[in-house]
Amino acid sequence: MSGHSKWSTIKRKKAANDSARGKIFTKLIKEITVAARAGGGDEESNPRLRTAVQAARGANMPTANVDRAIKKGTGELPGVNYDEIVYEGYTPGGAALIIQCLTDNKNRTVAEVRHLLSKHNGNLGETGSVGWNFKRCGEIVIAADGMTEDDLMELSLEVGADDFSLDEGMGTLLCPPADLHAVQKALEERQAKIESADQVMVPKNTVAVEGKAAEQTLKLMALLDDHDDVQNVYSNFDIDPEIMAAFEG
């Protein structure tokens, strides 16, 4: 299974743990703050903020936390200024990596990201070295217990999604980023239970990673994902389901 779709499944399982919730809230608060600073505090006129707030609600973040993050972004409350940085690189075995960060200290972040990569047999690449192999998409994940692939395909066509996949009782629908809100609204009108809605980077092709390199890749992904400055990690690895299952266990 490709890196993007399977890693998304692992992240959802991790998010169910209370120990992970604090880190998730921190990342969401950063994104809300930056979105509000960039485009204002009105969700209707700021698509990025709307998406960030929807993600926070999907993670059951208290409304008060969301409101504070927005006000920090608009300057109504004091807050930290975060810079957006995207690093590109490679996993052990040669799969591509996109690492999206929000940081208040660029030097610290690049040093720590580079250290994680080198320590686990990955490496940092030049800007543009792998980004061409990824496409930005809107992604909506819904609870799909009892649904078949035909059911999900029909729903996908009805709401205007471009692609879909079904895995472990979860349905993933992809659409152009500009259509994310419209597709989400159409799903809500059909009483779909939405687990998450966000913009993601989907690889155009995948790279098979096997054996020890596959295990190292999964460990590296987890460490990057847990880093306080890292918002999202995407890869185009294709790893044997048995190795993925062992890592989850």
pLDDT on residue 1? 42
Per-residue pLDDT tens over the stretch 207-249: 999 999 999 999 999 999 999 999 999 999 999 888 888 887 6
pLDDT on residue 13? 66
Q: Is 202's pLDDT higher than 70?
A: yes
33 vs 2: which has the higher pLDDT: 33
Task: Single out the residue of 2, 13, 4, 3 nearest to residue 168, CA to CA.
Answer: 13
**Which pLDDT band, with edges at 50, 70 and 90, does 7 fall under?**
confident
pLDDT on residue 224? 95
E strands, the chain, are 83-90, 96-103, 123-124, 134-143, 163-167, 170-175, 194-203, 207-208, 230-235, 237-238
Average pLDDT value for residue range 72-91: 94
Average pLDDT value for residue range 57-80: 92
Q: Point out which residues pair with 202 in neighbouring strands.
A: 135
pTM: 0.89
CB atoms under 10 Å from CB of 105, counted, come to 12
pLDDT, averaged across the chain: 90
DSSP-based three-state secondary structure for 44:
coil
Task: Judge if 3-74 and 83-132+205-248 fold alike in CATH terms.
Answer: no
- What's phi and psi for 54, nearest 5 deg? -60, -40
Tell me yes or no: is domain 134-203 CATH 3.40.50.10860.
no
Q: What is the CATH number of domain 83-132+205-248?
A: 3.30.70.980
CA distance 188 to 228: 32
pLDDT on residue 46? 92
CATH fold group of domain 3-74: Arc Repressor Mutant, subunit A (1.10.10)
Domain boundaries in the chain? 3-74, 83-132+205-248, 134-203
118 vs 55: which has the higher pLDDT: 118
pLDDT on residue 19? 57
Q: Is 127's pLDDT higher than 80?
A: yes
